[in-house]
Amino acid sequence: MIDWAFVASLFMIGLFGSGHCLGMCGGLSVALGMGIKGSRADKVRLLVVAQLGRISSYCLIGGLFGWSISQLQLLFGARDVLLVFRIAANLMLILMALYIARWWFGLAHLEKVAAPLWQRIKPIQQAFLPIKSTYGALIVGACWGWLPCGLVYSATVTAMAKGDALSSALAMLAFGLGTTPAVMLISSGGSTLSKWIQNPWCRRAVATALIIFATAQLVELLISH
């Protein structure tokens, strides 16, 4: 059964954590928008395709890690494995909430973890820049999804706690959709929603709601164990 409250929490993390995207992906987003030739409609179409590629990579990452957890359940027992990862997931939700509210910035240190992998993927992306076709946009976006990002790694740890490939992929889909407005706005030059996302009161309100949600989940897990 799909936990829609959990999925919604990943969407909100993506949306309000996308201030991080402004720093990590801002340069790439602007470069994509400026590098695409043709009409505005062509630019929007190719940017949307690039975002689909990026989100597809998030779903793949979530699905792979979710599948790995399902295999661990077979080896060590579903109850014990899921309990450990669900506790870790809710603790990670709290850390991401602190990051969203800008009360703590420790997630940035996670970006060093996958730097070697990105150095292998980056040349593939650069080979298709500037974007000239739908296929090129899809490849650029798919590579983009592997850009070192502490927020993505944290979301992945949270998503994989659902214990199966489909649920984890769906959670990462929600996260990716949440990050899309900010990334698209940077590429197209928009700013209104970006200002709203960056509003300190909005960020703190969402962070507080996430902390309450995660704490309630933790209490329920510990009581029921």
Spell 70-89 as b/e; 16+ CB within 10 A means b: bebbeeeeeeebbbebbbeb
Between CA 116 and CA 150 the distance in angstroms is: 15
The number of folded domains in the chain is 1
* pLDDT score, position 146: 92
Q: Which domain holds residue 102?
A: 4-224
Please tell me the predicted confidence (pLDDT) of residue 189: 55
Burial 113-125 (b: 16+ CB within 10 A, else e): ebeeeeeebeeeb
Report the candidate in 62, 37, 57, 49 with the shortest Cα–Cα distance to residue 162: 62
Check whether the bond before 148 is cis (ω within 30° of 0).
no
What's the confidence (pLDDT) of residue 188?
59
Q: How far apart are CA 52 and CA 58, in angstroms?
A: 10
Closest C-alpha to 133, from 38, 46, 34: 46
Tokens 């309990």 -> residue: 83
CA 41 centroid distance within chain: 26
Mean pLDDT, contiguous 10-residue spans, the chain (225 residues): 83 79 57 68 87 96 93 79 84 86 80 83 90 91 89 87 89 94 69 65 85 89 80
**What confidence score (pLDDT) does residue 64 get?**
96
* Amino acid 24: pLDDT: 54
Cβ partners under 8 Å of residue 123, min gap 6: none
pTM: 0.83
